[in-house]
Amino acid sequence: MRIRAAVSAALASAGILLAGWQSGIHVEDTRSAAASTSAGINGTTGTTGATGATGSTGSSSSSSGSTDTGASGTGSSGAGTGTAGTDSGAAAEPTTGAAAKAGGTYTGSVVQTRFGAVQVQITVKAGAITDVEALQLTDDDRKSVQISNRAAPLLRSEVLAAQSADVQTIGGATVTSVAYLNSLQAAIDAANL
Protein backbone atom coordinates (compact mmCIF):
# COMPACT_ATOMS: atom_id res chain seq x y z
CA MET A 1 0.00 0.00 0.00
CA ARG A 2 2.88 2.34 0.72
CA ILE A 3 4.19 1.45 -2.73
CA ARG A 4 0.86 2.37 -4.28
CA ALA A 5 0.97 5.76 -2.52
CA ALA A 6 4.57 6.39 -3.62
CA VAL A 7 3.86 5.45 -7.24
CA SER A 8 0.67 7.48 -7.52
CA ALA A 9 2.28 10.47 -5.79
CA ALA A 10 5.26 10.29 -8.14
CA LEU A 11 3.05 9.98 -11.22
CA ALA A 12 0.74 12.80 -10.17
CA SER A 13 3.64 15.11 -9.32
CA ALA A 14 5.47 14.31 -12.55
CA GLY A 15 2.29 14.97 -14.54
CA ILE A 16 1.68 18.31 -12.87
CA LEU A 17 5.29 19.41 -13.29
CA LEU A 18 5.27 18.37 -16.94
CA ALA A 19 2.05 20.27 -17.59
CA GLY A 20 3.50 23.34 -15.88
CA TRP A 21 6.71 23.10 -17.88
CA GLN A 22 4.86 22.70 -21.18
CA SER A 23 2.71 25.78 -20.60
CA GLY A 24 5.84 27.58 -19.42
CA ILE A 25 7.50 27.07 -22.80
CA HIS A 26 4.37 28.49 -24.41
CA VAL A 27 4.46 31.53 -22.11
CA GLU A 28 8.08 32.21 -23.02
CA ASP A 29 7.24 32.29 -26.73
CA THR A 30 4.46 34.82 -26.30
CA ARG A 31 6.59 36.81 -23.90
CA SER A 32 9.46 37.33 -26.35
CA ALA A 33 6.85 38.54 -28.82
CA ALA A 34 5.51 40.92 -26.18
CA ALA A 35 9.01 42.19 -25.51
CA SER A 36 9.51 43.15 -29.13
CA THR A 37 6.15 44.93 -29.43
CA SER A 38 6.74 46.86 -26.21
CA ALA A 39 10.06 48.07 -27.57
CA GLY A 40 8.22 49.32 -30.63
CA ILE A 41 5.66 51.22 -28.58
CA ASN A 42 8.34 52.85 -26.47
CA GLY A 43 10.10 53.99 -29.61
CA THR A 44 7.08 55.64 -31.22
CA THR A 45 5.88 57.42 -28.10
CA GLY A 46 9.39 58.70 -27.56
CA THR A 47 9.45 60.42 -30.92
CA THR A 48 5.92 61.80 -30.79
CA GLY A 49 6.61 63.15 -27.32
CA ALA A 50 9.30 65.35 -28.84
CA THR A 51 6.97 66.87 -31.43
CA GLY A 52 4.66 68.52 -28.94
CA ALA A 53 2.17 68.24 -26.11
CA THR A 54 -1.06 67.93 -28.02
CA GLY A 55 0.43 65.64 -30.61
CA SER A 56 1.73 63.17 -28.09
CA THR A 57 -1.63 62.88 -26.35
CA GLY A 58 -3.27 61.85 -29.55
CA SER A 59 -0.69 59.40 -30.78
CA SER A 60 0.07 57.67 -27.50
CA SER A 61 -3.61 57.26 -26.73
CA SER A 62 -3.85 55.05 -29.76
CA SER A 63 -1.87 52.48 -27.84
CA SER A 64 -4.02 52.61 -24.71
CA GLY A 65 -7.52 53.93 -25.28
CA SER A 66 -8.25 57.45 -26.56
CA THR A 67 -11.69 58.15 -25.01
CA ASP A 68 -10.34 57.26 -21.59
CA THR A 69 -7.59 59.88 -21.81
CA GLY A 70 -9.92 62.73 -22.67
CA ALA A 71 -12.58 61.90 -20.12
CA SER A 72 -10.26 61.48 -17.14
CA GLY A 73 -8.21 64.50 -18.06
CA THR A 74 -11.06 66.98 -17.92
CA GLY A 75 -13.49 65.22 -15.55
CA SER A 76 -11.13 64.70 -12.66
CA SER A 77 -9.20 67.95 -12.84
CA GLY A 78 -11.27 69.42 -10.01
CA ALA A 79 -10.61 66.39 -7.84
CA GLY A 80 -7.03 66.44 -8.95
CA THR A 81 -6.33 69.84 -7.48
CA GLY A 82 -8.04 68.71 -4.26
CA THR A 83 -5.69 65.79 -3.73
CA ALA A 84 -2.68 67.64 -5.02
CA GLY A 85 -3.37 70.32 -2.41
CA THR A 86 -1.62 68.20 0.18
CA ASP A 87 1.75 68.58 -1.49
CA SER A 88 2.29 72.21 -2.50
CA GLY A 89 0.57 71.67 -5.83
CA ALA A 90 -2.58 73.70 -5.17
CA ALA A 91 -0.67 76.55 -3.59
CA ALA A 92 1.71 76.67 -6.49
CA GLU A 93 -0.95 76.62 -9.19
CA PRO A 94 -2.31 80.19 -8.89
CA THR A 95 1.14 81.80 -8.63
CA THR A 96 2.97 79.74 -11.21
CA GLY A 97 -0.12 79.48 -13.30
CA ALA A 98 1.73 80.62 -16.37
CA ALA A 99 3.96 77.55 -16.50
CA ALA A 100 1.11 75.15 -15.82
CA LYS A 101 -1.32 76.82 -18.26
CA ALA A 102 1.22 76.81 -21.02
CA GLY A 103 1.57 73.09 -20.54
CA GLY A 104 4.16 70.94 -22.17
CA THR A 105 6.02 67.76 -21.44
CA TYR A 106 8.15 67.22 -18.36
CA THR A 107 10.59 64.36 -17.96
CA GLY A 108 11.10 62.63 -14.61
CA SER A 109 14.39 61.42 -13.23
CA VAL A 110 15.82 57.99 -14.12
CA VAL A 111 15.24 55.58 -11.23
CA GLN A 112 17.45 52.49 -11.10
CA THR A 113 15.97 49.23 -9.82
CA ARG A 114 17.20 45.67 -9.58
CA PHE A 115 15.22 44.92 -12.72
CA GLY A 116 16.37 47.87 -14.83
CA ALA A 117 15.92 51.64 -15.11
CA VAL A 118 12.57 53.44 -15.03
CA GLN A 119 11.80 56.93 -16.35
CA VAL A 120 8.48 58.62 -17.11
CA GLN A 121 7.38 61.75 -18.90
CA ILE A 122 4.17 63.67 -18.24
CA THR A 123 2.16 65.89 -20.51
CA VAL A 124 0.58 68.88 -18.78
CA LYS A 125 -2.22 70.99 -20.15
CA ALA A 126 -4.05 73.75 -18.25
CA GLY A 127 -2.54 72.64 -14.94
CA ALA A 128 -3.64 69.02 -15.30
CA ILE A 129 -1.71 65.90 -16.18
CA THR A 130 -3.22 64.73 -19.42
CA ASP A 131 -0.82 61.91 -20.20
CA VAL A 132 1.95 59.82 -18.70
CA GLU A 133 4.43 57.98 -20.84
CA ALA A 134 7.04 55.52 -19.74
CA LEU A 135 10.28 56.35 -21.50
CA GLN A 136 12.08 53.44 -19.83
CA LEU A 137 10.64 50.50 -17.95
CA THR A 138 12.17 47.58 -16.06
CA ASP A 139 13.26 45.27 -18.87
CA ASP A 140 16.24 43.31 -17.58
CA ASP A 141 14.64 40.00 -18.39
CA ARG A 142 11.51 38.68 -20.00
CA LYS A 143 9.75 38.45 -16.68
CA SER A 144 10.36 42.12 -15.95
CA VAL A 145 9.17 43.10 -19.42
CA GLN A 146 5.96 41.18 -18.86
CA ILE A 147 5.41 42.82 -15.49
CA SER A 148 6.15 46.27 -16.88
CA ASN A 149 3.78 45.85 -19.79
CA ARG A 150 1.02 44.94 -17.39
CA ALA A 151 1.77 47.53 -14.71
CA ALA A 152 2.39 50.62 -16.89
CA PRO A 153 -1.17 51.05 -18.28
CA LEU A 154 -2.65 50.49 -14.81
CA LEU A 155 -0.32 53.03 -13.21
CA ARG A 156 -0.99 55.50 -16.00
CA SER A 157 -4.75 55.43 -15.54
CA GLU A 158 -4.40 55.61 -11.74
CA VAL A 159 -2.15 58.65 -12.03
CA LEU A 160 -4.44 60.38 -14.52
CA ALA A 161 -7.38 59.82 -12.19
CA ALA A 162 -5.56 60.97 -9.05
CA GLN A 163 -3.54 63.73 -10.77
CA SER A 164 -0.63 62.97 -8.47
CA ALA A 165 1.97 60.33 -7.67
CA ASP A 166 0.00 59.45 -4.55
CA VAL A 167 -1.54 56.22 -5.88
CA GLN A 168 -1.54 52.52 -4.99
CA THR A 169 1.34 50.39 -6.23
CA ILE A 170 0.42 47.49 -8.50
CA GLY A 171 0.44 44.06 -6.84
CA GLY A 172 3.19 41.85 -8.20
CA ALA A 173 4.99 44.88 -9.66
CA THR A 174 5.92 46.74 -6.52
CA VAL A 175 9.48 47.55 -7.53
CA THR A 176 8.44 48.84 -10.94
CA SER A 177 5.56 50.80 -9.40
CA VAL A 178 7.69 52.50 -6.78
CA ALA A 179 10.31 53.50 -9.35
CA TYR A 180 7.61 54.68 -11.76
CA LEU A 181 5.95 56.85 -9.12
CA ASN A 182 9.28 58.30 -7.95
CA SER A 183 10.18 59.33 -11.47
CA LEU A 184 6.66 60.69 -11.88
CA GLN A 185 6.99 62.80 -8.73
CA ALA A 186 10.18 64.30 -10.13
CA ALA A 187 8.34 65.16 -13.35
CA ILE A 188 5.45 66.71 -11.41
CA ASP A 189 7.94 68.77 -9.38
CA ALA A 190 9.57 69.93 -12.60
CA ALA A 191 6.20 71.01 -13.96
CA ASN A 192 5.52 72.99 -10.78
CA LEU A 193 2.10 71.44 -10.50
Partner 1 sequence: MNTHLLPALPAGSRDRKGPGSFRARHRRRLLRTDLLATAAWASIAAAVALWLADGGTSGFSTLAGAFTSLGIVAGLAGMDLVLLMLLLAARIPLIDQTVGHDRALEFHRKLGKPSLYLLLAHGILIAIGYGMTEGLDPVSEAVSLWVLVPDMWLAFISMALFIAVVVTSLVAVRRRFPYEFWYAVHLLTYAAVATSLPHQFSVGGLFAEGTWQRWYWLAVCIATGAALLHYRVLEPVIATFRHQLTVSRVVQVAPGVVSIEMHGLRLNELAGTGGRFFIWRFLAPGLWWHPHPFSLSAEPLQFDASGRGLLRITVRNLGRGSAQLAGVKPGTKVAVEGPYGIFSTAARSRDRVVMIGAGIGITPLRALLESTPFAPGQATVILRGRSEQELYLGDEILDLARNRGATVFHLTGARSARHTGSWLPDSATNAGHRLADYAPEIADADVYVCGPAAWARNVIADARAAGVREDQLHYERFDW
* Site residues, partner 1 (CB under 8 A): 1, 4-5, 8-10, 12-14, 16-17, 19-21, 23-25, 27-28, 31, 114-115, 140-144, 146-147, 150, 154, 169-175, 178
Cα–Cα distance measured from residue 66 to residue 48, given in angstroms and rounded to the nearest whole number: 15
Q: Give the residue from 151, 49, 57, 55 showing the smallest Cα distance to 108.
A: 49
| Minimum separation from the CB atom of position 89 to partner 1 (A) | 24
Cα–Cα distance measured from residue 154 to residue 161, given in angstroms and rounded to the nearest whole number: 11
| Minimum separation from the CB atom of position 184 to partner 1 (A) | 17
| Minimum separation from the CB atom of position 183 to partner 1 (A) | 15
| Minimum separation from the CB atom of position 156 to partner 1 (A) | 15
Instruction: Write 157-162 long-range contacts (CB < 8 A, 24+).
Output: 157/68, 157/72, 159/129, 159/132, 159/184, 160/69, 160/72, 160/73, 160/76, 160/129, 160/130, 160/131, 160/132, 161/72, 161/76, 162/76, 162/80, 162/83
Residue 157's CB is within 10 A of a number of other CB atoms, namely 17
Query: Nearer Cβ to partner 1, position 121 or 149?
Result: 149
Query: Nearer Cβ to partner 1, position 6 or 79?
Result: 6
Query: Nearer Cβ to partner 1, position 106 or 115?
Result: 115
| Minimum separation from the CB atom of position 104 to partner 1 (A) | 32
Query: Nearer Cβ to partner 1, position 28 or 82?
Result: 28
Query: Nearer Cβ to partner 1, position 5 or 98?
Result: 5
